[in-house]
Amino acid sequence: MSPTSPDKLRLGGMALRNGLLVHGPTHWAAAVRDGHGDIKVASGRKPRVQAFDGVPGVRGVVRLGEAFVVIPLVKRALPAAKLPFENPSVLAAAAGASMTGAVLRRRVGGSAGEAAAAVLSLAPALLALRGGELAAYHGVEHKAIAAYEAPEGADAADAAKEHDRCGSHLVAPMLASNMAGAVLLRRLLERPNALAGSAVALASTAVAVEVFAWSERNADTKLAHALRRPGFEIQRLWGTREPDERQLEVGRAALVEILRVEAPAH
């Protein structure tokens, strides 16, 4: 996919279990289908921290943090929104994966234990995508944004359900950097504490975001294609599903709202 046209907004998003959240440069907008079958829409201004925009590593973590801060704002403005992990079975899977990962690190040890724990950490996300409409709304997210970025006249129904800027492209570099950092940490410290582990996780996220950004800037290179391949396969095989017209309608409503609230600033 070619880079976003300079006369169009750079949009991102997050699939909800019953709708779509779209991020613009200064605002967010969300649309969901409530229990009565009606489409509800809300929007608001995004919190922004610009002090670190030019600092590699830090800037990506800050942007991710801003995206997470938006989530409770969405829930407050749009109570009908159902968040991806707002599910008892997914929360139980997350707790189980965390405990099992700790056991694997202790008993298996080394790079093998870290690799097993890292792969296991994906289980909650995969479980969340497996049931309900989340995978379809993930497809809605990609198709709605791709249609907006395409030449005039494109419709979300005709766009691909895989996208170059999907968060799935963070998975491979994040797993690799987290494993490398964890192994190095265990060689330096006999018993790494929670603070050291958190530092490794934060550094891994920073590396993954920088790799993601580099791949977008150099999209036509062979290395960028290779780095993105795992993410595309996650999207194609598991992370997205072709949405139906009712789901696409919700996505179009979210897109119309983000363009409306961003219009004065664009």
Q: What is the pTM of this model?
A: 0.79
- Closest residue by Cα to residue 18 from 32, 35, 29: 32
Domains of the chain: total: 1
Give residue 41's domain range.
12-265
Q: Is residue 5 part of a domain?
A: no
Q: Is residue 4 part of a domain?
A: no
For residue 171, name the pLDDT band (cuts at 50, 70, 90).
confident
Average pLDDT for 89-98: 50
Average pLDDT for 5-28: 90
Helices (H), the chain: 58-77, 88-107, 110-120, 123-130, 134-149, 171-188, 194-217, 222-234, 245-262
Q: Is residue 7 part of a domain?
A: no
pLDDT tens for residues 23-32?
999 999 999 9
Of the segments 128-132, 184-188, 246-250, which one has the largest average pLDDT value?
246-250
Q: Is residue 218 part of a domain?
A: yes
Q: Is residue 3 part of a domain?
A: no
Q: Is residue 83 part of a domain?
A: yes
- What sign does the CA torsion over 144, 90, 63, 120 have? negative
Q: Is residue 2 part of a domain?
A: no
Of the segments 112-116, 190-194, 254-258, which one has the largest average pLDDT value?
254-258
Task: Provide the CB-side half-sphere exposure for 206 (13 A, CA).
Answer: 14
Q: What is the pLDDT of residue 93?
A: 44
Q: What is the pLDDT of residue 128?
A: 60
